[in-house]
Homo-oligomer: A and B are copies of this chain.
Amino acid sequence: MKIRIAKNSGFCFGVKRAIKMAMDKSEKYNKLSTLGPIIHNPQMVSKLENQGVKSIESLEESSGEPIIIRSHGITSSTYNQLHKMNVEIIDATCPYVKNAQESGAKLSKEGYTVFIVGSANHPEVKAISSYIDGESYIVKTPEEIPKKNFSKIGVVCQTTQQFSKLEAIVQKLIHQSKEIRIINTICTATTLRQESTRKLAQDCDIMIVIGGKNSSNTKMLAVISKEFIPTYHIETENEIKEKWFKNVENIGLTAGASTPDWIITNVYNKIINLLGFPSGTVNNVEDIPGY
C-alpha cells in the first residue's frame, strides 16, 4: 500500500502571502477585518477569526479597524471608499492579480481597447475591469467578441483562465486590428494543480481531494480526479471513512490552492494511523511522499 500527494497541491504563492500578512498583522492588532472571506477555506477563516481577524461583507460593517484586501483584489470604487475611511489598508491582493489590474489600466491609458479574457461575474475580473477607463470588453469565448474593427487591441487575462481560451480569443482578434498587444497575466498555479491531479489519478486507486467545499479550484480537482478513479472531497481529516480504503493499493492526495498545509498534514497522518502504515506520521507537508 502506498500514499502519495500530487506534486503541485495546496497553497499557491498569492494565498500563502495573503495568509501570512493576515497572521502577522493579527499579532499587532486586536481587531482586523477582511473584506469577504480571505480565502475559500472555512477552517482557515475560523482559525483567523480566533486570532481577531473577522470577515465582513461590506465596509459599513467596519468600525475603524485595519482592513485586509483579500488576494483576488477589490474594485477601484471600493478602494476609493476604503481610502476615504482613513483606516489602515493591508493590501493582500495577489501580485499576479495586481499585475493583471495594472496591465489592463496601462493598456487602456495607452489607447488600446482592452479585452479581458475571463468570467464577467468573477470578483477578480470585476476588479481588473474597474481600473480601465476606456473601451473594454470581458470575453470568455471568441463568439463573444463584437464584430467590428478596432484601432489598437490590448488583451489581459483573469489569472486562473485556461491558456487555450486566450489562444482562441487572440486567433480571432488578430483579424480585427492592425495592432494587438497581449499581456498574458495567467498564473500557472491553477493549471499546474489540475495537471498534477490528473497525472496522479491515473496512477492510483482512490483520491482524497482536500479543501473548502466552497472553493471552485478544489472542486475542479475533484471533477478531474473522478474521471479516472473514486474520489472523495473532504475539508478535514474528520470526514475520512475507513471503508474507502478496502482493497486499495495506491492512495492519492491532492489539495486546492486555498488549502492550508496543516489540514493536508492532518489528513495524511490520520490515514497513516488508520491503516497502520509503517512509515509513520509527519510534521510537515513537505515530508509527505510527492508524486
Contacts and interface: CB of A to CB of B under 8 A. Distances in A.
Interface stretch (A116-124, A180-188, A232-240): A180-188
B178 A167 contact: no
A184 B170 CA distance: 13
A248 interface: no
- Copies of this protein in the assembly total 2
Interface residues of A, number: 14
Contacts of A274: none
Contacts of A177: 184
Contacts of A178: 183-185
Contacts of A166: 174
Residue from the set A167, A180, A185 with the largest chain B CB neighbour count within 10 Å: A180
A181 B181 contact: yes
A84 to B, nearest CB: 35
Contacts of A183: 178-179
A174 B167 contact: yes
A171 interface: yes
Contacts of A170: 170, 174
Interface of A: 166-167, 170-171, 174, 177-185
Q: What are the nearest 3 A-B pairs in CB distance?
A: A181-B181, A178-B184, A180-B182
A164 to B, nearest CB: 11
Given A167-B171, A167-B174, A170-B174, A181 B184 contact: no
A185 B185 CA distance: 26
Contacts of A174: 166-167, 170, 182, 184
